[in-house]
A and B are shown apart, each in its own frame.
Chain A
């Protein structure tokens, strides 16, 4: 119930392509879904986040798509660039509980 399942574990995309990372959850009480980006040797940094009252949120080349009925959300990176190569984590939390439930992470490599 508390898990967030993230896939794929790793992903290789050509420069200019679309990178798609998926996450699924079971707990319908989750109401906040952030994505974090982590570069080697650095801490995770918030990339983009969504609440379940919207189906999509876009910030530049990064888009979160949210499917409440399927209990799934995904990160799309358009026109992927080598600088996007990093590990991406999805997460979820609910209500007044400040604990983020983290996905296992996806290592993304963008080939030039």
Chain B
């Protein structure tokens, strides 16, 4: 089993550029979560989907952030325009039902 796959693993971009992070959840999982992790704020839930439908996006920090899940095997998190304060590690996680969230390896985003 491949686990949750995220790409890219590292992204360095300049302020104002659009950034797209990608996630492939574990096959058969019906929930997908996007998290952001920073030293200052710890682990924050940004948004989660159930059966491809966004359920709670109250953690999305600003309108600059958007997430989509066009099908059960793919999701994107987009930041447009990016700002230096968006620099963080972004994790995607998936689960089957409520109790066990499997995390991907994360995307380390640096916005200069």
Residues of A whose CB lies within 8 Å of any CB of B are 32, 34, 41-46, 49, 89, 93, 96, 98-100, 102, 104-105
Asked whether A43 and B56 contact (CB < 8 A) given A89-B43, A99-B45, the answer is no
Residue of B43, B48, B56, B99 near A49 (CB, 8 A) is B99
Q: Which residues in A have their C-beta under 8 angstroms from that of B43?
A: 44, 89, 102, 105
Residue of A32, A41, A43 near B99 (CB, 8 A) is A32
Asked whether A98 and B48 contact (CB < 8 A) given A89-B43, A105-B43, the answer is yes
B95 at the interface (CB under 8 A from A): yes
Q: Which 8 A-B pairs have the closest CB atoms?
A: A43-B103, A102-B43, A104-B42, A43-B91, A44-B103, A98-B98, A43-B106, A43-B104
Q: Which residue of B lies closest to A93 (CB)?
A: B98
Q: Which residues in B have their C-beta under 8 angstroms from that of A49?
A: 99
A49 CA to B100 CA, complexed, in Å? 9
Besides A43-B91, A45-B103, A98-B55, 17 more A-B contacts (Cβ < 8 Å) are: A32-B98, A32-B99, A41-B105, A41-B106, A43-B103, A43-B105, A44-B91, A44-B103, A49-B99, A93-B98, A98-B95, A98-B98, A99-B45, A99-B48, A102-B43, A105-B42, A105-B43
A93 CA to B103 CA, complexed, in Å? 17
Q: Which of A42, A49, A99 has the most CB of B within 10 A?
A: A99
Expressed in whole angstroms, the minimum distance between the Cβ of A94 and any Cβ of chain B is 10
A104 CA to B42 CA, complexed, in Å? 6
Expressed in whole angstroms, the minimum distance between the Cβ of B71 and any Cβ of chain A is 20
B109 at the interface (CB under 8 A from A): no
Q: Which residues in B have their C-beta under 8 angstroms from that of A44?
A: 43, 91, 103
Q: Which residues in A have their C-beta under 8 angstroms from that of B42?
A: 102, 104-105
Q: Which residues in B have their C-beta under 8 angstroms from that of A93?
A: 98
- B50 and A98 contact, CB distance less than 8 A: yes
